[in-house]
Amino acid sequence: MVIREARAWHHYGVSTKQAFLRRRDPATQSEGVVAGYAQTAQRWPSQPLVRRPLTPSELTGPSDVLRRLAPVRGDLAGYGEKRALGQLIHIRARVVDEDGAPVPGAVVEIWHCNAAGKYIHPNDSNDAPADPNFYGAARMVAGDSGLVELRTIKPGAYPVPDTGGWWRPPHVHFSVWGRIWLSRLVTQMFFPGDPLNDADPILQAIRDPEARSRCIARLAPIASGPRNALVYDYQIVVRGRGATPALP
């Protein structure tokens, strides 16, 4: 984590913020590998991170992530006969730095399962129906205010195979890229008040409650958004001791 932070600061042209490079409190970070969920061991470093000098190629390129990763429109819900099944929601995710300043140009990838809890992925063995009108992934670029907006449907909960009854609460996966490949945050957004949140080993792998709360979106006032969609605000802090915890 510390190394990733240091690279991110170089990326944003800040070289003198050594004071912020103190190690983050481990309680504010995920423990990473969650017992009983085999995939987490494949998505998390198996050894402690090591410091090493940064090279110019790491700090300068590629300068334009979107030349290699094409944007995908921020509408997963569709319309009319092509409308995905489920509760329409509107996610307003804002990418900010440790001072709350927007990070324009950040590339934000988002993916989640359909309303029945099914991903379009060959490894998803959940016996739930696919939705032909729902694919479930988008890639967007943060604007000047650091904001990306996604129109989609609320994902369902799904059972984790071979765990004896663990259900993942509804959640949305996020991957945030800076302008270089090495500045990347992968995490998950949860929905406020879901009873499965408190029993989810992925979310509970962040021991500090305040840090955990950074992974939970906020329901916006009902009258503030589109008439037929619930609006969720979510802030992604990409660096600093108050950063959004990474989740597998």
Query: Known catalytic residues?
Result: 119, 158, 168, 171, 173
CA atoms of 53 and 215, how far apart (whole Å): 31
Residue among 212, 208, 230, 234 at smallest CA distance from 221 = 230
Asked if 88 and 153 count as a contact pair (C-beta separation under 8 A), the reply is yes
Q: Residue 70's Cα: distance from chain center in Å?
A: 18
Residue 20 burial (CB count, 10 A): 15
CA atoms of 107 and 122, how far apart (whole Å): 26
Cα separations (Å) of 188 from 48, 82, 185, 247?
22, 27, 10, 6
Q: Residue 118's Cα: distance from chain center in Å?
A: 18
Residue 143 burial (CB count, 10 A): 15
Strand 218-219, strand 230-237: pairing = antiparallel
CA atoms of 29 and 236, how far apart (whole Å): 14
Residue 146 — left, alpha, or beta (φ > 0 → left; ψ -120 to 50 → alpha)?
left
